[in-house]
Amino acid sequence: MSSAASPFVVMKFGGTSVASAEGRDNIATRVRAEVNAGLKPVVVVSAMGRKGAPYATDTLLSLVDQRHCDKHELDVLMSVGEVISSVVVATHLSGQGIPAKALSGVDTGIHTNLIDGAASITDIDTAPIIALTNAGIVPVVTGFQGVDATGRLHTLGRGGSDTTACALGAALDASFVDIYTDVDGVFTADPRAIDEAKVLTRITADELFQMAAHGSKVVHAPAAELALQSGVNMRVRNTFSTAEGTQVVHVAPIKPDAIATAVTTVADIARIRVRLPYVKDDATAHMQTQTAVYRAMADAGISIDMFTPMNDRVVFSVKKDLAAQAVDILRGLDYKVALRDGLAKVTLVGSGMHGVPGVMAKVATSLAAAGIDILQVADSHATISLLVDEKDMLSAARALHSAFGL
C-alpha cells in the first residue's frame, strides 16, 4: 500500500488532454498545484489525440503496411507518439515557469520483458526520476514503452500509458496515481449511452479491474490489475474539470450501500458451439476432448470467454473478428461447429453481490420485463455477465442500471 507521507504523485494525462492548448494549460495548472502543495509530481503522457489526429498511435500505424513491418519496427513506430507528447508537454510546462524535462522509456529506466507489442514491465530504476525531482524538475515520462535487458524498445499494449503510471506509482511508493482523462471519473455505465449514468465517488480496486476487464475504457485493464495487486492509491479525474473524480479504494465497506456498482458493455461478440464426441462412463477421455478445444484456441492466440462445458458440447464466446478463424480451426479438427454472431456482453459489476441470494433472479426479472432474451450467463465473485443480441445491448444495460438503482 502506498504511503500517505510519500512526496511523489504520479499524474497520467491521456491523449485528449495533451492534444490541445487548453488541455496543456490545464495540465500546467494541475502540476503547479501539486508543486505548491509540496509534492513532487511525475507526469506520464499518452500520444496526442485519437485516430485521425496527426500523432495519434492509430494514425502512425496507418502510415505503413503492417503486413511488411516486423513487430519490433511497429513498436518503434508506435512509441513515437508518446515521445512527441513528452517533449511538447515538458516544453509547455517550462514555458509556464515549471521546470520540466522529457524522458523516454529508456531515460526513465523502465525495463520490460521481450514481448513486442504487449510487453510487461519487469523493473523500474527510479534513480533518474528521483534525481530530477530532487533538483526541482518535473519529469514528463513517455507512457506505453520501455526497454528489455539488451536495450531493445518494446511497447506495453494499447492503453499502456496507464500501466506505466501505475508501475511508477508502485516503484516510487507515490501518495497517489492520478489518471486524468476527459470525463469526470468512473461512471456507473457509459454516459454516452445511458443518460442516467452517474460518477462514482469511490470504487474498489477489484471493481475497477472487473469493469476494465469487461469493457470499460476509462482505465486500461492491465493498469487496473496492477493497481489491485500493488495497492497504489489511484484517482480517476478530469483534466478539463474541477470535479473531485473517483477514488479507488482497496477495502470495500463492511455494509455496502448497494449490491452492484456499475454496468459495462462489449459489442461485436460471437458465440461458438462445439459438438463433442461424448465418451460414456469415461470422464477422463471426455475431459481430454474438452481440453483439446481449449488448447486449439490457445495455440491460435484466440482468447475465449463465457465458456460453458457440457456433456456433449462446449459453448464459448470470442471477439467477432476472430470467429471465422476459430471455426476454421475447429472444423479442421473434425468438430461440428455452430456459429452465432451479432451478440454482445453486458456485465453487472459489484463487490457487494458476493454471496447475496436473489441477485441473478433480479437480473433475469429485469431483462425479462424489458423483453430481452439471455443467451448465456457467466459469473464471478464480483460480476454477472450476460450474452444477449447486440440489438438488445443498451436496453439490457439500462434495465440493469435501473433495477439495481445505480
**Tens digit of pLDDT for each residue in 17-33?**
999 999 999 999 999 99
Model pLDDT, residue 1: 45
Residues 6 or more apart in contact with residue 8 via CB below 8 angstroms: 39, 40, 41, 42, 133, 169, 172, 173, 174, 175
Angle, in degrees to the nearest 10, between helices 320-332 and 283-299: 130
pLDDT band, very low/low/confident/very high, at 231 (cuts 50, 70, 90) = confident
Closest CA to 386 of 358, 344, 354: 344
Classify domain 262-403 at the CATH topology level.
Answer: VC0802-like (3.30.2130)
d(CA 172, CA 179): 16
Highest mean pLDDT among 26-30, 149-153, 311-315: 26-30
Q: What's the pLDDT tens digit per position in 186-217?
A: 999 988 888 889 999 888 888 888 888 888 88
Model pLDDT, residue 124: 92
Q: Which of 209-213, 275-279, 326-330 has the lowest mean pLDDT?
A: 275-279
Above 60 in pLDDT, residue 256?
Answer: no
Say whether 262-403 and 8-249 share the same fold.
Answer: no
Above 50 in pLDDT, residue 2?
Answer: no
d(CA 343, CA 330): 20
Above 50 in pLDDT, residue 255?
Answer: no
Predicted TM-score (pTM) of the model is: 0.85
pLDDT band, very low/low/confident/very high, at 283 (cuts 50, 70, 90) = low
Residue 19 in contact with residue 85, Cβ under 8 Å? Answer: no
Q: What is the mean pLDDT of residues 120-142?
A: 93
Give the start-to-end residue ranges of the domains of the chain: 8-249, 262-403
8-249, superfamily in CATH?
Acetylglutamate kinase-like (3.40.1160.10)
Residue 247 in contact with residue 201, Cβ under 8 Å? Answer: yes
CB count, 10 Å around CB of 49?
22
Residue 10 in contact with residue 172, Cβ under 8 Å? Answer: yes
- Cα torsion through 162, 163, 168, 170, rounded to 10: 110
Looking at the DSSP bridge assignments, the partners of residue 177 are 10, 234
Q: Which of 131-145, 274-288, 317-331 has the lowest mean pLDDT?
A: 274-288
